Structure 1
Amino acid sequence: MPRPGAALLLCLLLPSLPEPSAAESPLQLPTPQNVTIYSYNYQNLLTWAPVKVDNGSVLYTVQYNTLACNCWEEINCTNITKTECSFTDPDIKSFWTITLRVRAELGQVKSDWVETNKFVADQNTTIGPPVIVNVDSTSDSLFLNFLHTVKEDTLQYLVRYWENSTNKQHETKWTKNTRIGLLNLKQLTVYCFQIRAKVQVFDDNIGPLSETNCHKTAASGAMRAGFVVVIFVAATVTVVILAIVCFLFIQKFHQVVKYWFQPPFKIPPHIEEYLKDPEMPALEELQNDCAEEDPWDSLSVVSSAEGSQALVRDTLNTNVHSNSRSTESEKT
Structure 2
Amino acid sequence: MAPSITALFLLCSAFSSSTVLSALLGRPINVRLCSYNMNLVLKWDPPEGADSGLLYTAKYKSPVTKYRAGCVNISALECDFTSHHISTYGEYTGGVQALRGVESSIWVESNPITLDKDTIIGPPSVSLVSKGATMEVGIEDPVLWISDVRSVYAGATYNITYWKSSQSEKRSSHVVQRTRVILNHLDSWSQYCLQVNLQVNTARSSKTSMPSNITCDSTTAAGNGSPWTAAVLAFFGISVAVALVAAVVMKWKSISTFLFPKDTLPQCLKESVLAPPVSTLQSLKELHPQEETCVQLLLVSGDRGMEEETPQPEATPFMLHMSGERSIEEETGGWRRRQEHGGGDSNG
- Residue 124 of structure 2 contacts residue 211 of structure 2 at CA under 8 Å; is this kept in 1? no
What do the CA deviations read for 1:107-150 (whole angstroms, capped 9, x no partner)?
444332211111123222222222223424243x3221132441
Q: Does the C-alpha gap of structure 1 residues 129 and 33 become closer, same or farther in structure 2, counting only changes over 3 Å?
A: same
Matched, 1:24 2:21: yes
| Structure-2 separation of matches of 1:21 and 1:9 | 20
Deviation at 1:65, TM superposition (A): 1.4
**Aligned partners of 2:198 and 2:209 also within 8 Å:** yes
Structure 1 gaps, min length 5: 228-332
Equivalent in the alignment of 1:49 = 45
User: What corresponds to 2:110 in structure 1?
Assistant: 116
The whole-number CA distance in structure 1 between the counterparts of 2:212 and 2:112 is 29
What is the SS of the residue equivalent to 1:88? coil
**Aligned equivalents of 1:152 and 1:60: distance in 2?**
34
Provide structure 2 residue ranges, at least 5 long, that are not aligned to the other structure: 228-348
Instruction: Normalising by structure 2, report the TM-score.
Output: 0.51
CA distance in 2, matches of 1:55, 1:116: 23
Contact 2:127 2:215 in 1 (8 A): no
Is 1:152 aligned to 2:149, yes or no?
A: yes
Give the corresponding residue for 1:162: 163
Residue identity in the other structure for 1:144: V
Aligned partner of 1:73 in structure 2 is 68
In structure 1, what is the Cα distance between the partners aligned to 2:119 and 2:157?
15
CA distance in 2, matches of 1:127, 1:16: 54
1:153-178 deviation line (CA, Å, top 9, x unaligned): 23542111122332221111152x32
The structure carrying a bigger strand percent of its residues is 2
Would the alpha carbon gap of residues 159 and 25 (structure 1) be closer, same or farther in structure 2, given more than 3 Å must change?
closer
Instruction: Read off the aligned partner of 2:140 and give its amino acid letter.
Output: L
8 Å contact 1:22–1:29 — kept in the other structure? no
Matches within 5 A, 1:210-289: 210-221=212-223
User: How does 1:180-191 map onto structure 2 within 5 Å?
Assistant: 180-191=181-192
Q: Root-mean-square deviation (CA), in Å?
A: 3.6
Deviation digits for residues 172-204 of structure 1 (CA, Å, limit 9, x no counterpart): 1152x3223323333333222111124454654
Q: In structure 2, do the counterparts of structure 1 residues 113 and 13 end up closer, same or farther at CA, with 3 Å as the change threshold? A: closer
Is the alpha carbon distance of 1:119 and 1:186 closer, same or farther for their aligned partners in structure 2, counting shifts above 3 Å?
A: same
Deviation at 1:23, TM superposition (A): 4.9
Equivalent position amino acid for 1:171 in 2? S
User: Is contact 2:95–2:107 with CA below 8 Å preserved after alignment?
Assistant: yes
Structure 2: distance between partners of 1:174 and 1:97: 31
Q: Under a length normalisation based on structure 1, what TM-score does the superposition of the two structures give?
A: 0.53
Percent identity of the aligned residues?
Answer: 29
Contact 1:51/1:58 (<8 A) preserved:
no
Residues matched between the structures, number: 214
Matched residue type, 2:160: V
Q: What's 1:260 paired with?
A: none
Output the CA distance in 2 between the equivalents of 1:45 and 1:87.
6
- Residues 61, 102 of structure 1: 8 Å contact kept: yes
1:93 paired residue number? 87
Q: Distance in 1 between matches of 2:184 and 2:51?
A: 68
Distance across 2 between alignment mates of 1:203 and 1:212: 27
